[in-house]
Structure 1
Amino acid sequence: MCDEIKPLTDEKMRDGLVYEAVYSAVQNGIVEVVMPLCEARPELLFRGLEDGKNIFQYAVECRQENVYSLIYGVGQRNLITTLRDNSGNCILHYAGMLSPLANKRLDRIAGAAFQMQRERQWYKEVESIVVPLSGASTLNKDGLTPPQLFTEKHKQLLEDGEKWMRIYTVPGGNNQVTGFPIFLNGKEFMVFIGSDAISLCTSATSALIFLSILTSRFAEDDFLKSLPTKMILGLSALLISITTMMVAFSSALFIMFQNKLLFTYPFIFLATIPVTLFVGMQFPLLVKIFKSTYCERVFDKKINHWI
């Protein structure tokens, strides 16, 4: 197919639905189709459909990071980033949009806060190659700059992200179990004191962190690292607090019912349930937040020069 389209005129390419094929591949993230077609006809990088958008603008609109990453291997990248469609939108405007195609990709991400984080990651990545060319101050035909367009199109997602971040409540407090002075030198009592102290400190730390989330200004850029980092620290402190609280509870039972161990074992087993539930339900979320914020690479910048 690539050999067949090389001698075609632009009119014949449009009649042959070559542009439609390229844009369909972009929409579905099929770089194996996009690359050879663009290598055969490099003008496909610059020309678009009737609305005037090029393939990289469309890749940003569809939130197809695999296709967008190809821009790092294009020699005329600076020229491509300055192109506008028929509505005056540059590529950064498309990063500020929230089209149905983008929503379709966002639906795969659980949680409005993580969706907002991914949207800011997209915007910041595109901004990094556009701002040096003054693309951030570009007005489209509606008189909107890319930042203004992002704010306008992401109002609802921002509100949903704020509500999602507020669902986490602070722990209800520590189990205040008193020990008798006669056990002051006992190992169980020392375990009780140590775990109770850790539980108190981490519980207070967790409360303060979640309070800082509640009082956050919830700016768009806060969803990049600030809020996810607070959530990571808050959930970690909460896990330590719950675990040490259960250790303190179990050690207190040992202290008070030393001669009735058969009576204490069922309660100690029950004490493991909150920890198990937290690890099962919240630890995967904690890992996902950490990976999304510090480990995952949305864009592949190590693209070899391919055209």
Structure 2
Amino acid sequence: MPTIYTELFTSLAKNPDAFNMEEKNLITRIKERIGRIFGMKGEPATEEDTDALKILKIVWKHATKRMSYDDIKDMLRGPSTTLDDGSVRYLSRVLFDAAEVGNTRFIAELLRTYHRLMIETNDDGHTIFHVAVMHRHQGVYNLLYEIAGSTKDSICQIPDTLDRNTLLHLVGKTSKEMTAKTYGASLLMQRELLWFQDVYNMTPPYAREKKNNAGQTPYELFSKENKELVSKGLDWMKDCMVVATLIVTVAFAVAFTVPGGYNQDHGLPIFTHQRAFLFFVIADAISLFTSSTSLLVFLTILTSGHGQRDFMYSLPKKLMIGILTLFISVAAMMVTFSASFFVLYHKGLKWVPILISIFATVPVIVFAALQFPLLVDMFRSMYDSSYLFNPKKHVLYPKTLKLHPKKST
């Protein structure tokens, strides 16, 4: 029977998507946010359990009634195997499998019954929170906010068996998961800093400078691991500066090569009285000014000295300004291009400038579509970092949940 339980729990643990609730649409989230701003009380939020969560609750209730805590541990640990060096390794670690893939609701359901599971370690001496930090799953990590102080402090100080790395040491190491889902090197550096800062605040002051077997403090390890990321972040900004330079060059040249040329008698542009010509001049000026601003912002970033901590707020803020002005300059440049055809064909073949204007929107839309996720991620990291580490959202002990901890200690 325990083997059947192990197989079932392992299957559920490795499938976090089956436990995810259906997300609210954008309009609903905006209405709720506006309501909170004005202090309006909406309908109480009710979340219906998914099928996977319902199955887990039934099977877990059945298992805890029939088995003792030691049996539960053995069941979740799975069968063991002996290696050539005589060490024992376990083939299945249900809780740690769930922590590795970020299956927060699965873990929370098990911890509500047995609190002691949160301080259990795997073969490497890691708790589920160590595993979550290494793989940057903030959902599992945020469960620490709902744990009492002494237990939380103990978890933060548990060293692993290989290098004696604590939770703060492990967050100092680079994460492949974070690299894969973060846009741009500079934003990746900022996100790593946010993680390190939050775990640093979570760790008791007397444990923040503990050294591992290599004699490194957590911050020394963090600086070493992210040394190359600083240079990559600055190199990424150089590419943006090249684009801004090209637009400045084009916009400046267009300002003196107006469509139709100049009247030889008084030196004014021939089409100076055309309304489309006014749009042409204004759009070109906007493109020149915004691209120049973007170029200067990126130039300031590259010429001034920056340390790792500058990637937290200072550099991302400048980068966001640079990308926004660069987007405005691209859009204005396309308006300039389209307006020039309206100037030249204002007396006939009006379908030509209309068709060209439609095609001119394509690069603007493509640029916006490609850069929008970066801007949103950057904005949320700077001004709404609480979405990343959100202790207000109770998952382990929801307010609507009535607990009867018969087997908790």
TM-score by length of 2: 0.63
Gaps of 5+ in 2: 1-62, 80-89, 263-267, 382-386, 398-407
1:249-264 superposed matches below 5 A = 249-255=337-343, 258-259=346-347, 261-262=348-349
Higher helix share: 1
Please report how far the alpha carbon of residue 108 of structure 1 lies from its aligned counterpart in structure 2 after TM superposition: 3.4
In 1, the alpha carbon distance for the partners of 2:345 and 2:338 equals: 11
Whether 1:84 aligns to 2:159 is yes
CA 1:244–1:36: 2 relative to 1, 3 Å: closer
**Aligned position for 1:8:** 70
Is the contact made by 1:97 and 1:150 (CA closer than 8 Å) also made in structure 2? yes
CA 1:265–1:221: 2 relative to 1, 3 Å: farther
Whether 1:150 aligns to 2:222 is yes
**Aligned position for 1:56:** 129
Larger radius of gyration: 2
In 2, the alpha carbon distance for the partners of 1:236 and 1:303 equals: 32
Is the contact made by 2:194 and 2:312 (CA closer than 8 Å) also made in structure 1? yes
Is the contact made by 2:121 and 2:128 (CA closer than 8 Å) also made in structure 1? yes
Query: Which amino acid counterpart does residue 154 of structure 1 have in structure 2?
Result: N
Is the contact made by 2:76 and 2:95 (CA closer than 8 Å) also made in structure 1? no
Q: Which secondary structure state, in structure 2, belongs to the residue aligned with residue 137 of structure 1?
A: coil
Report the aligned-residue RMSD: 3.2
Please report how far the alpha carbon of residue 58 of structure 1 lies from its aligned counterpart in structure 2 after TM superposition: 1.7
**Aligned position for 2:24:** none
Is the contact made by 1:117 and 1:224 (CA closer than 8 Å) also made in structure 2? yes
**Aligned position for 1:284:** 369
Please report how far the alpha carbon of residue 251 of structure 1 lies from its aligned counterpart in structure 2 after TM superposition: 3.7
Please report how far the alpha carbon of residue 34 of structure 1 lies from its aligned counterpart in structure 2 after TM superposition: 1.7
**Aligned position for 1:121:** 194
In 1, the alpha carbon distance for the partners of 2:188 and 2:281 equals: 42
1:153-172 superposed matches below 5 A = 153-168=225-240, 169=242, 170-172=244-246
**Aligned position for 2:322:** 234
Of the three residues 171, 175, 198, the one matched with 2:286 is 198
Please report how far the alpha carbon of residue 157 of structure 1 lies from its aligned counterpart in structure 2 after TM superposition: 3.5
In 2, the alpha carbon distance for the partners of 1:70 and 1:141 equals: 28
Q: Which secondary structure state, in structure 2, belongs to the residue aligned with residue 235 of structure 1?
A: helix
Q: Which secondary structure state, in structure 1, belongs to the residue aligned with residue 239 of structure 2?
A: coil
CA 1:64–1:256: 2 relative to 1, 3 Å: closer
TM-score by length of 1: 0.81
Is the contact made by 2:76 and 2:94 (CA closer than 8 Å) also made in structure 1? no
CA 1:240–1:226: 2 relative to 1, 3 Å: same
**Aligned position for 1:72:** 145
Is the contact made by 2:338 and 2:356 (CA closer than 8 Å) also made in structure 1? no
CA 1:159–1:272: 2 relative to 1, 3 Å: farther
Please report how far the alpha carbon of residue 137 of structure 1 lies from its aligned counterpart in structure 2 after TM superposition: 2.0
Count of aligned pairs between the two proteins: 300
In 1, the alpha carbon distance for the partners of 2:284 and 2:165 equals: 59
**Aligned position for 1:95:** 171
Please report how far the alpha carbon of residue 93 of structure 1 lies from its aligned counterpart in structure 2 after TM superposition: 0.8
Is the contact made by 1:224 and 1:293 (CA closer than 8 Å) also made in structure 2? no
**Aligned position for 2:388:** 298
**Aligned position for 1:44:** 117
Please report how far the alpha carbon of residue 15 of structure 1 lies from its aligned counterpart in structure 2 after TM superposition: 6.7
CA 1:248–1:108: 2 relative to 1, 3 Å: closer
Give the fraction of aligned pairs with identical amino acids, expressed as a percent. Answer: 28
